[in-house]
Amino acid sequence: MSEKFYVTTPIYYVNDKPHIGHAYTTILADVLSRYHRMNGDATFFLTGTDEHGQKVQKAAVEHGMTEQEQCDTTVVRFQELWEKLGISNDDFIRTTEARHKNVVRKILQDLYDRDLIYKAEYKGCYCVPCERFFTDKDLNEEKTCPECGRPTNEIVESNYFFKMGQYQQWLIDYIKEHPKFILPDYRANETLGFLKKPLADLCISRPKSRLAWGIELPFDKDYVCYVWFDALVNYISGAGYGSNDAEFKKWWPASFHLIGKDILTTHTVYWPTMLKAIGVEMPESIFAHGWWLTGQNKMSKSLGNVVNPMEMAERYGVDAFRFFLLAEMSLGQDASFSEDAFIEKYNSNLANDLGNLLSRIVKMTVKQFGGIIPSPTEENDDDKELKSAAIKAVEVMKSAVPGMKLNSGIEEVMNAVRAGNRYIEKTAPWTLAKSGDTERLGTVMYTAAEALRFVSVLLYPIMPSKMTELRKALGINTPEVNMKELEKWGGLVPGSKMNDSGSLFQRICITEKAPETAPQSQAQTPDSDAGLVSIDDFFKTQLKTAKVVHAEKIDGADKLLKLQIDIGGEKRQIVAGVAQYYTPEEIIGKTIVVVANLKSAKIRGIDSQGMLLAAKKGKGLKLITVDGEIDSGSSVG
Ligand code: MSP
């Protein structure tokens, strides 16, 4: 059954250009929206910019511009980036737009009229360089600024306050009664922890004498509205509140407010109490994701380690960048960004696994069937295994999207891709072609291509352009992509024509970290380098860590052990000639290194899907293991 889905991102300050944190939340919202649209759900995706307040005013002064000029020039950088990154937002709200300011003013006036906003003296310590106010609870005994450590000045200022404190118990109860309201659940606990202290009323004004760039209070022209009180309202003003009731009724309550973990209190305390005061229903879920770090460090301008998303997308392609961000971050937790990790993931998952599978299927179908997709005949166990890997990926992804576990969904799709490559190795279509078994060859090609069709739908929201390309290569030219396509296995139409349009993901050469991808000709070794391999050739071999979960001797083969290994959640069996050096007991539990993309083989009639690495000299042999704890399935190279 289709439903409605309304998702928001934070609105971004226009004091500086966008960075990876902004790109991440926006891509996440985009991917969720695309999944919902693909599901047939009525979807509304709102993003925008936060254009008032001190940060923007300060940037304007630094750049010698008026505040509005500062907003107008910076907003374009966000809008251009969203276009570049393929963001499919339905609306873009700027807080300097009349449609937003009018709603904020209406709310302020209404709360003032109902005595929910009052004027009082505000006593606090002001840090002039940081331009920030602190109350006693923020300060140490010396009353130095918690931000910069410099002395603060005590000042008394008249201001307007929203009676937030009176909603404290209601909010605690609401959070406890609605386990999906704040996600992940540990963030709900964080907010409940914050609410253990008495909740003060919220100062919602700034005197113009101190900060003039904001929405003027409708009941006092000497004040502007506090930027957060103004900004949060975008989630309803952008959905028609106060201007288009039918539209608002259609979309509200929001399904998800996506935010970074640093803006939890404003979203889970200020915003719900504001909504409660104006009598508007709560959003369904506020989801706080973690931080993108550089190594172990926070990104910051002063450290010069801020990742520019525009550059990354230009250098490596938009879709690969989107894929990396979503595959790499477990939602809720911090993740570390590095270009090396990006290249590694790109080469292994996209170039080797996915690109390679497509190219094998298309090339073989073109060669053996003139590119015409053959009809499958009877299904054997190998075919069924691949089919169930694809169907499992659908199931996992279907629960991963609402469960905000996109990285697990992606991993399951990649497992299906790897199962596709194993299938090709096992069924050996080139041998079928040589022996003239066209019927079986046709079934193999069809089955592998059908599995890729499943993959193309499941990864479409993450890599819309590349998946459209992949579908075209498979001969699927429908402009719409829909989850309904995955209701049955066998949707690929025999008789349609594949297109060999070249490689989907060119390998990136890690030594260069450069935009150029290594051209095929470079892989040829020049004469003077006889015996050497290029880095590109080397990376054709995928080395991965694997945990040995079971080992046993093989009857009649005293040099061999049969091992069951786990490579990042994927179970495999390998046969290794190590029985004279290790007993099964000694080897179980070790994290070893294996060649993960080796064609499977039969050794003494037993399937072996990979090869372990060991150092050998004379009569000695030692397994290659890793220096400490690391997840199985980690890349080695
Ligand atoms: N304008 C406010 C939001 C108002 S919403 C009603 C704001 N803007 S911001 O531009 O400073 O930040 C926007 C978002 O970027 C926040 O969710 C923040 O968590 C996120 N990120 C900033 N740096 C980040 C990373 N390094 N990694 C991930 N997200 C981070 O706050």
Q: Ligand 1 within 6 A of 12 CB?
A: yes
pLDDT computed for residue 585 by the predictor: 86
Residue 115 region, left (φ>0) first, then alpha (ψ -120 to 50), else beta? Answer: left
Lowest-pLDDT choice from 4-13, 209-218, 451-460, 557-566: 557-566
pLDDT computed for residue 607 by the predictor: 79
Q: What is the pLDDT of residues 305-328, one digit of tens each?
A: 888 888 889 889 999 999 999 999
Q: Ligand 1 within 6 A of 461 CB?
A: no
Chain position carrying tokens 């971004």: 12
Q: What is the pLDDT of residues 377-414, one digit of tens each?
A: 999 999 999 999 999 999 999 999 999 999 999 999 99
Q: Has residue 491 got a pLDDT over 50?
A: yes
For ligand 1, the distance from its centroid to the CA atom of residue 609, given in whole angstroms, is 45
Q: What is the pLDDT of residues 220-245, one digit of tens each?
A: 999 999 999 999 999 999 999 999 99
Q: Has residue 142 got a pLDDT over 90?
A: no
Q: Has residue 287 got a pLDDT over 60?
A: yes
For ligand 1, the distance from its centroid to the CA atom of residue 21, given in whole angstroms, is 6
pLDDT computed for residue 310 by the predictor: 86
Contact yes or no for 490/345 (Cβ under 8 A): no
Lowest-pLDDT choice from 337-341, 554-558, 563-567, 576-580: 554-558
pLDDT computed for residue 626 by the predictor: 87
50 CA: nearest ligand 1 atom:
1
What token pair was written down for 320?
């690969």
Q: Ligand 1 within 6 A of 467 CB?
A: no
For ligand 1, the distance from its centroid to the CA atom of residue 204, given in whole angstroms, is 21
Q: Ligand 1 within 6 A of 11 CB?
A: yes
For ligand 1, the distance from its centroid to the CA atom of residue 12, given in whole angstroms, is 7
As a whole number, the mean pLDDT across the chain is: 90
Report d(CA 221, CA 232) in Å as an integer: 22
Helices (H), 429-490: 429-434, 438-458, 464-473
Report d(CA 434, CA 499) in Å as an integer: 23
Q: Ligand 1 within 6 A of 238 CB?
A: no
Report d(CA 178, CA 253) in Å as an integer: 14
For ligand 1, the distance from its centroid to the CA atom of residue 7, given in whole angstroms, is 16
Q: Has residue 540 got a pLDDT over 50?
A: yes
Report d(CA 298, CA 513) in Å as an integer: 22
Q: Ligand 1 within 6 A of 263 CB?
A: yes
**Orientation of helix 98-113 relative to helix 271-278, angle to 10°:** 70
The protein residue whose alpha carbon is closest to atom 17 in ligand 1 is 260
pLDDT computed for residue 530 by the predictor: 37
For ligand 1, the distance from its centroid to the CA atom of residue 22, given in whole angstroms, is 6
pLDDT computed for residue 517 by the predictor: 36
For ligand 1, the distance from its centroid to the CA atom of residue 227, given in whole angstroms, is 14
What token pair was written down for 527?
């004469």
For ligand 1, the distance from its centroid to the CA atom of residue 412, given in whole angstroms, is 30
Q: Ligand 1 within 6 A of 105 CB?
A: no
232 CA: nearest ligand 1 atom:
6
Q: What is the DSSP letter of 144?
A: B
Contact yes or no for 341/328 (Cβ under 8 A): yes
For residues 255-292, b (16+ Cβ closer than 10 Å) or e, as one string?
bbbbbbbebbebbbbbbbbbbbbbebebbbbbbbbbbb
Lowest-pLDDT choice from 398-402, 450-454, 576-580: 576-580
pLDDT computed for residue 634 by the predictor: 84
299 CA: nearest ligand 1 atom:
26
pLDDT computed for residue 572 by the predictor: 87
Q: What is the mean pLDDT of residues 96-113?
A: 98
Q: Has residue 136 got a pLDDT over 70?
A: yes
The protein residue whose alpha carbon is closest to atom 19 in ligand 1 is 260
To test the pocket of ligand 1, the residue of 7, 15, 17, 22 to mutate (highest count of ligand atoms within 8 Å of its CB) is 22
- The vertex-413 CA angle with 467 and 463, nearest 5°, equals 25
Q: Ligand 1 within 6 A of 10 CB?
A: yes
CA distances from 240 to 261, 311, 485 (A): 27, 35, 34
For ligand 1, the distance from its centroid to the CA atom of residue 398, given in whole angstroms, is 28
For ligand 1, the distance from its centroid to the CA atom of residue 111, given in whole angstroms, is 28
* Banded pLDDT at 615 (limits 50, 70, 90): confident
Q: What is the mean pLDDT of residues 351-363?
A: 96
pLDDT computed for residue 520 by the predictor: 32
- What does residue 16 show for φ and ψ, rounded to 5 degrees? -155, 170
| pLDDT above 90 coverage of the chain, percent | 68
> Does a cis peptide bond (omega within 30 degrees of 0) precede residue 18?
no
What's the pTM? 0.80
For ligand 1, the distance from its centroid to the CA atom of residue 16, given in whole angstroms, is 12
Q: Ligand 1 within 6 A of 56 CB?
A: no
Q: Has residue 140 got a pLDDT over 90?
A: no
For ligand 1, the distance from its centroid to the CA atom of residue 293, given in whole angstroms, is 13
> Does residue 456 or residue 509 have the better pLDDT?
456
Q: Has residue 603 got a pLDDT over 80?
A: no
Q: Ligand 1 within 6 A of 292 CB?
A: yes
For ligand 1, the distance from its centroid to the CA atom of residue 9, given in whole angstroms, is 9
Q: CA end-to-end span of the chain, whole Å?
A: 47
Q: Ligand 1 within 6 A of 307 CB?
A: no
The protein residue whose alpha carbon is closest to atom 6 in ligand 1 is 232
The protein residue whose alpha carbon is closest to atom 12 in ligand 1 is 12
Q: Ligand 1 within 6 A of 259 CB?
A: yes
259 CA: nearest ligand 1 atom:
17
> Does residue 34 or residue 157 have the better pLDDT?
34
For ligand 1, the distance from its centroid to the CA atom of residue 369, given in whole angstroms, is 53
Q: Has residue 519 got a pLDDT over 50?
A: no
pLDDT computed for residue 294 by the predictor: 85
Type of residue numbered 191: T
Q: Ligand 1 within 6 A of 21 CB?
A: yes
* Banded pLDDT at 523 (limits 50, 70, 90): very low
For ligand 1, the distance from its centroid to the CA atom of residue 260, given in whole angstroms, is 6
